[in-house]
Amino acid sequence: MIELTINGKRHELDVEDDMPLLWLLRDELKLMGTKFGCGMGICGACTIQVDGEPVRSCVMPVSAARGKTIITIEGLGGSVGNGKLHPVQQAWIDEQVPQCGYCQPGHIMAAAALLESNPDPSDEEIRKEVTNLCRCGTYLRIFAAIRRAAGRDGGGSGS
Partner 1 sequence: MSGILNLSPNLLLSRRQFIAAGAAGSLVLGFRLPLAASAAQANGVLNAFVAIDPSGTITVQSPFVEMGQGIYTMMSMLVAEELGADMRSMRTVQAPPGAAYMIVREGERFTGGDESTRSAYEPLRRAGAVARHMLVQAAAGRLNVQPDALTTRGGYVVHKASGKRIAFGDLVADAAGLDVPAEVQLKSPAEFQVLRKTQARLDIPAKTDGSAVFGVDELPDNVAIAVVRQAPVFGGTVKRMRPESVTGRRGVIAVEEVPNGVAVIADNYWRAMKALNALDVEFAPGPAPDFTSAKHEELLRGKLDARGATAEEVGDLDGAFAGADRTLEMDYVIPFAAHTTMEPMTCTALVTDDRCVVWTPNQGVDFIVYAATNVTGLPAEAVEVHTPFLGGAFGRRFMLDFPTQAVTLANRHKGRPIKLIWSREEDTRHDFYRPMLAARQRAALDKEGKLVGWHSRIAGMGPYTQVFPDEVEAHGWDFSVMQGMLELPYRLPNRRMEYVHVQSPAPIGFWRTTGYGPTCYFKESALDEIAHAVGRDPYEYRRELLADAKRECAVLDKAAELAGWRKKPFRKNGTHRAHGIALHNAFDSINAQVAEVSISDDGTVRVHKVYCAMDCGLALNPLNVIMQMESGIAFGLSATLHEEVVMRDGRAVPGNFHEYPILRPGEMPDVEVAIIDSGAKIGGAGEIATCPVAPAVCNAVFALTGKRIRTLPIGTRVAEMT
Contact residues for partner 1, defined by CB under 8 A: 16, 19-20, 22-23, 26-28, 30-40, 42-43, 45, 72-74, 76-77, 85, 89, 92-93, 96-105, 108, 127-128, 130-143, 157-159
Cβ 115 to partner 1, closest distance in Å?
Answer: 15
Cβ 81 to partner 1, closest distance in Å?
Answer: 8
Cβ 18 to partner 1, closest distance in Å?
Answer: 9
CA distances from 136 to 48, 94, 132, 133, 142 (A): 21, 18, 12, 9, 12
Identify whether the C-beta of residue 115 lies closer than 8 Å to the C-beta of residue 88: yes
Cβ 26 to partner 1, closest distance in Å?
Answer: 7
Closest Cα to residue 132, out of 19, 9, 46?
46
What secondary structure letter does DSSP report for 84?
P
Which residue's CB is nearer to partner 1, number 68 or number 134? Answer: 134
Which residue's CB is nearer to partner 1, number 50 or number 142? Answer: 142
Cβ 76 to partner 1, closest distance in Å?
Answer: 8
* 3-state secondary structure (DSSP) of residue 108: helix
Which residue's CB is nearer to partner 1, number 68 or number 145? Answer: 145
Which residue's CB is nearer to partner 1, number 38 or number 69? Answer: 38
Residue 125 and residue 145: Cα distance in Å, rounded? 14
CA distances from 122 to 33, 118, 129 (A): 29, 9, 10
